[in-house]
Structure 1
Amino acid sequence: MQLQPWIIMATISAFLIQICLTVESPPSADKIDLGVHPLELEHFVNMAHSNQVERSCGKYVIPRVTSRVGFSYSANTSFYAFVNDDMTARDNLKFLQRWFLKFPEYKNRDLFLTGESYAGHYVPQLAQLIVQSKVKFNLKGVAIGNPLLEFNTDFNSRAEYMWSHGLISDITYEAFTVICNYSQVRREIVMGSLSPACSGVISQVSRELGKHIDSYDVTLDVCLPSVVSQSERLNQPRGTEKIDVCVEDETIKYLNRKDVQKALHAHLKGVSRWSICSEVLKYEYRNLEIPTIHVVGAVLKSGIRVLVYSGDQDSVVPLTGTRTLVNGLAKDLGLNTTVPYRNWFQGRQVGGWTQVYGDKLSFATIRGASHEAPFSQPERSLVLFNTFLQGKPLPEATVVL
C-alpha cells in the first residue's frame, strides 16, 4: 500500500520545529482542504500558505489515512474490499516509521498527533499502537476535534443539539429521542435496513431541517453552486467574505488539475479523478460502534497529553456529547478538575470555553466553529492549538468591561 502524504516544510528555523501528524477524515473521505495545516485555497486556482498556522507547528505531515483515500493507493486492489480501524492504525504506524527513516533529522523532535471527526478513532488508536510498539518516537500529545469517541453518546446528543438551536420542533425532538434516536438510525443504515419507525422519524427531521442547513455548521450559509452565485462570489472585493462556503467544490476542481496532480506526484491508479469521498474503498462501518474513549484513557495513562476540542456549531458530533464523555473519562481515571469550566479568549473576544483535568487532559470549545474548526475559525483554532503545543493554559480576558 502506498500512502500519499502532504509534507509541508517550515520556513522558520529547523531547530524550532515540532512535527504534527494530522490524521483526518471519516473513512473513505479526504478532507485536505479543511484540516489543521498551513494551506488554504484561493478562488479555484492557488494554494496559499497561512503563516499564522505555520508559526505554531513548523512541519506538517498529512498522510491520507488509508489506501484509495485521496491519492493513496494499493498495488493490490483486493485491499480495497475490506479496511478497518486496526489495519488503518498499523498502516499509519508503518508510514511514520518509514517517514522517520527517510527524514532521520526529525526523529528526536516532539511529535503531536492531530485530527478531527473519525480521527476520534484513528488518532488514539495510532497513539496507543505507538506506545505498545515501543517505537522511539517522541510522542508528546494528541489533539482531536469533534471526535467520534462513543457511538451512542455522540450520535444521540444530536437530537438535543438540533432542538436547542431551533432546527427541529418539540414534537420532532420527542420522536427523535423516544421513538428512534440517531444512533439507532445510523446502526440500521449500516446494517442496510431502515425500520419504518426510524424512517418516519428521520423523514420528519429532514423535512424540518430542510436542504439549506449545513449540519457540520448550523450557522454557516451553504454553497449554491450555480453559475450566477459563483460569479457573484468570485467578483466580491477581497475580504468581504469571512468563510468560503464553496471551498469543497473549489478543492475538487483544484486537485483534478493535471499540473497540480503532477506537482503532487499523484497516482490515479484505479480511479479517473480525485473526489472528496472514495467509492472504491469498502471500510468496515461497524467499527463506528467501537468505543475509543477508553483508548484515550490508555493514552493518558502512558503520560501523553490529550486535548479534546469541539467546534460549537457542529450538529454531527455535538460538543454536548463530547463534553459528557470527557467528564466521564476524568472521573473514571480519578482526575480532579485543575482549571474549572471557564471561557478563554482570542484577543479581546471569547474564543470558547475550557476545562482541565489533572495535568494532561483538557477539553475546550471553539466559539462559532464548525465540525472542521480550523476552516471556520482559523484564528481561534490557532490560539487553541498553539497553547496546547506549548503546554500553556488558554488565555483569559485581557480587558475588563
Structure 2
Amino acid sequence: MNLMMISLKLLLFMNLSIIIITTCKANPNQQGEHLSKFIHSKRSHNNNNNNPSSSSLEAFLSHLPQLHVVDDDDDQESKLKEDDKVEGLPGQPEGVDFDQYAGYITLDANKGKALFYYFVESPQNSSTNPLLLWLNGGICFIQFNMAVANVIFLESPAGVGFSYSNTSSDYAEIGDSITALDSYTFLVKWLERFPHYKTRDFFITGESYAGHYVPQLAHTILSYNNIAASIHQTVINLKGIAVGNGWIDDNLCTKGMYDYYWSHALSSDESHSGIEKYCDYVSGNFSYECIKYMNMADVEVGDIDIYNIYAPPCDSSSSSKSPGNDFDPCSDHYTMSYLNLPEVQKALHAKATNWSSCSLVGWTDSPASILPTINRLISSNISIWIYSGDTDGRVPITSSRYSINALKLPVQTPWRSWYSANQVGGYVVGYKGLTLVTVRGAGHTVPSYQPQRALTMISYFLNGELPPKN
C-alpha cells in the first residue's frame, strides 16, 4: 500500500470526531491478543476479590474535592493551539477540507508526564457538531463518508504510542483508576486549549477493554461535575456513552465467550459439557477441571481470526479483504510503517520515537465487574448504549447480553431489526436506561468491519434516537 493510500485511510478515519484511550493500537488482532492475555492472567490469578466498590477508582472519587486542575494561561494555550496545527500529512490527498491539530497536553510538569493527541474538526458543521470521545483498545481505520462529530485521538496512558513520562515509576503504576484520572485531567486541560468546545455536547464511546474505560471515565466526569462549578472549573457536558464489544464483567463475559464458541460450531460438545459442568460463573472459582475444558475449547477453535470468525488472516498469498466489506487485516503493518516515518512524526509534532502498535505496561487494578458503575450511570439519566458486532468471538454478543441481563432492567422497546443502506444493519432492544444494539457482520472493532452500518448507528446514537426500522 503506497504512502498516499495510508494517509488517505488515516484521514478518512478522522471524519468522525474521536478521542481514543488506548493501550494497544492499529489492528483489532493486536489489541485483541493483549486483551486475551489479560483475560487469561486474571483468570489464572482468580481475580474475583477486586470488588469495584473498593477499587482504587472509588477511592480516588471519594477524594475528588482535593483534585484541582489549574487553568492554564489563555494566551499561552492559544499559542500552543496554533503551534499544534497540522499543515498536512505526508501522502495526504488533495481536497482535505478540515483542520487538524496534534501535539501534547502536559498532565504533570514535575514528572514530565504528557499525553499525545490528534484532533480533527468536522468538515461541515464543526461549530455545532458534538465532541465524541472514543476510548478504545485499538485504532481502527473507519471510512465514514460524512462528518457527525469533531475528533480527538488520545494515546493514553503514558508509555503508549507517542505519550510518555520522564518518571519511570509511572509505567509500573498504570491501571483503571489512573487511566480514568489521566483521561479526565487531559480533557479539562485540552478544553483550556480549545475553549470553544467547553459547552459542546460531549459523548464517549469505545470498544474492547473500553468496557472498563468508558463507564469509569463517565463516572469520574459526572462525579467531578458535582463540585467543578464551585471551584470555577470546567463542567463537562456529558450526554451519553456507547460501549462496543466491551469487556464488562469477568465471569459473564467468559461464559459468553465459551457459549459463543459452541453455538457457532467452533468448539465440541465435549468441551462445552465440561465447561457447563465444572465452571462456576457465579463465584468465579474456576477449578482445574474447568480450566482444562476451557483450554480444550481454545485449542479446538483453531487458527482463525477470533475477533472476526469469518474473516481471512493477514496472508500475502490470498486476498487480504474480508468478504462483504473493505477491512484489510494487514492494516496494522501499514499503520506501523507510516507512523514510524520521520516526516510523519514531524508533521504530527510528535517526539521522535519507535512507535509500536502495543506497549507493555504494568496494570495494577482492574475490577472484576463494571456493572455497579453502569448501574450508577443509569441513575444519572445519560444515554447508555451497549453495541456488539455479531462475528466477534473474543467479546461476543452473548457476553454483552449476559452482562445486560444481570442488570435486570425492564424492556421498553422490544427486540427488532434496524436498517442501513436498505439492508438489515443489526438488531436493537431498548431497556429502561440502556439500549443494546447489534451490528450484523461486524467483528471486534465494529467500525473497521462495517463502516456504513457503524455510521448509521453512531449518527442515531448522537441524535438520541434508536436506529431506523427501515
TM-score, length-scaled by structure 2: 0.69
Residue 250 of structure 1 pairs with residue 317 of structure 2: no
Instruction: State the AA in 2 paired with 1:282.
Output: G
- Partner in structure 2 of residue 191 of structure 1: none
Cα drift, residue 357 of structure 1: 1.9
- Partner in structure 2 of residue 351 of structure 1: 425
Q: Would the alpha carbon gap of residues 139 and 241 (structure 1) be closer, same or farther in structure 2, given more than 3 Å must change?
A: closer
- Partner in structure 2 of residue 309 of structure 1: 387
Equivalent of 2:128, from 16, 27, 30?
16
Cα drift, residue 393 of structure 1: 2.1
- Partner in structure 1 of residue 67 of structure 2: none
Instruction: State the AA in 2 paired with 1:283.
Output: W
Q: How far apart in 1 are the matches of 2:445 and 2:186? A: 24
Residue 86 of structure 1 pairs with residue 155 of structure 2: no
Q: How far apart in 2 are the matches of 1:183 and 1:261? A: 48
| 2:407 alignment partner, SS class | helix
For residues 15-42 of structure 1, the C-alpha deviation after alignment (integer angstroms, 9 at most, x for no partner) is 32210011111xxxxx22x1xxxx55xx
5+ residue gaps, structure 1? 26-30, 41-49, 189-194
Q: How far apart in 2 are the matches of 1:196 and 1:337? A: 39
Q: How far apart in 2 are the matches of 1:385 and 1:215? A: 25
Q: How far apart in 1 are the matches of 2:417 and 2:324? A: 29
- Kept in 1, the 8 Å contact 2:244–2:389? The answer is yes
- Partner in structure 2 of residue 290 of structure 1: 368
Instruction: State the AA in 1 paired with 2:179.
Output: T
- Partner in structure 1 of residue 354 of structure 2: 273
Cα drift, residue 170 of structure 1: 0.7
- Kept in 2, the 8 Å contact 1:176–1:182? The answer is no
Q: Would the alpha carbon gap of residues 218 and 51 (structure 1) be closer, same or farther in structure 2, given more than 3 Å must change?
A: closer
- Kept in 2, the 8 Å contact 1:343–1:351? The answer is yes
- Kept in 2, the 8 Å contact 1:146–1:317? The answer is yes
| 2:160 alignment partner, SS class | coil
Residue 97 of structure 1 pairs with residue 188 of structure 2: yes
Instruction: State the AA in 2 paired with 1:309.
Output: Y
Residue 208 of structure 1 pairs with residue 307 of structure 2: no
Q: How far apart in 1 are the matches of 2:246 and 2:147? A: 25
Equivalent of 1:323, from 381, 398, 401?
401
Q: How far apart in 2 are the matches of 1:207 and 1:141? A: 39
Q: Percent identity?
A: 35
Cα drift, residue 196 of structure 1: 6.2
- Kept in 2, the 8 Å contact 1:159–1:182? The answer is no
Cα root mean square deviation, aligned = 2.5
For residues 78-100 of structure 1, the C-alpha deviation after alignment (integer angstroms, 9 at most, x for no partner) is 11012111111110000000010
Q: Would the alpha carbon gap of residues 264 and 338 (structure 1) be closer, same or farther in structure 2, given more than 3 Å must change?
A: same
> What are the within-5 Å matches in structure 2 for residues 37-48 of structure 1?
none
Q: How far apart in 2 are the matches of 1:76 and 1:177? A: 47
- Kept in 2, the 8 Å contact 1:180–1:201? The answer is no
For residues 201-245 of structure 1, the C-alpha deviation after alignment (integer angstroms, 9 at most, x for no partner) is 35422432112x111111111112x4x55xx75xx9xx9962212
Instruction: State the AA in 1 paired with 2:177.
Output: D
- Kept in 2, the 8 Å contact 1:156–1:183? The answer is no
- Kept in 1, the 8 Å contact 2:307–2:392? The answer is yes
Q: How far apart in 2 are the matches of 1:69 and 1:385? A: 27
Q: Would the alpha carbon gap of residues 200 and 385 (structure 1) be closer, same or farther in structure 2, given more than 3 Å must change?
A: same
> What are the within-5 Å matches in structure 2 for residues 118-267 of structure 1?
118-134=209-225, 135=228, 136-179=235-278, 197=289, 200-211=292-303, 213-224=304-315, 226=316, 228-229=317-318, 242-267=326-351
5+ residue gaps, structure 2? 1-112, 229-234
- Partner in structure 2 of residue 340 of structure 1: 414
- Partner in structure 1 of residue 462 of structure 2: 389
| 1:63 alignment partner, SS class | strand
Instruction: State the AA in 2 paired with 1:375.
Output: S
Comparing 147-156 and 6-15, the one that deviates more: 6-15
Cα drift, residue 107 of structure 1: 0.7
Q: How far apart in 2 are the matches of 1:181 and 1:265? A: 51
Q: How far apart in 1 are the matches of 2:451 and 2:324? A: 16
Q: How far apart in 1 are the matches of 2:187 and 2:282? A: 34
For residues 237-285 of structure 1, the C-alpha deviation after alignment (integer angstroms, 9 at most, x for no partner) is xx996221211222222222222222222235xxx52222112x1112x
| 1:322 alignment partner, SS class | helix
TM-score, length-scaled by structure 1: 0.81
Cα drift, residue 180 of structure 1: 5.3
Q: Would the alpha carbon gap of residues 201 and 258 (structure 1) be closer, same or farther in structure 2, given more than 3 Å must change?
A: farther
Q: Would the alpha carbon gap of residues 330 and 259 (structure 1) be closer, same or farther in structure 2, given more than 3 Å must change?
A: farther
- Partner in structure 1 of residue 445 of structure 2: 372
Cα drift, residue 103 of structure 1: 0.5
Q: Would the alpha carbon gap of residues 257 and 184 (structure 1) be closer, same or farther in structure 2, given more than 3 Å must change?
A: farther
Q: How far apart in 1 are the matches of 2:402 and 2:291? A: 28
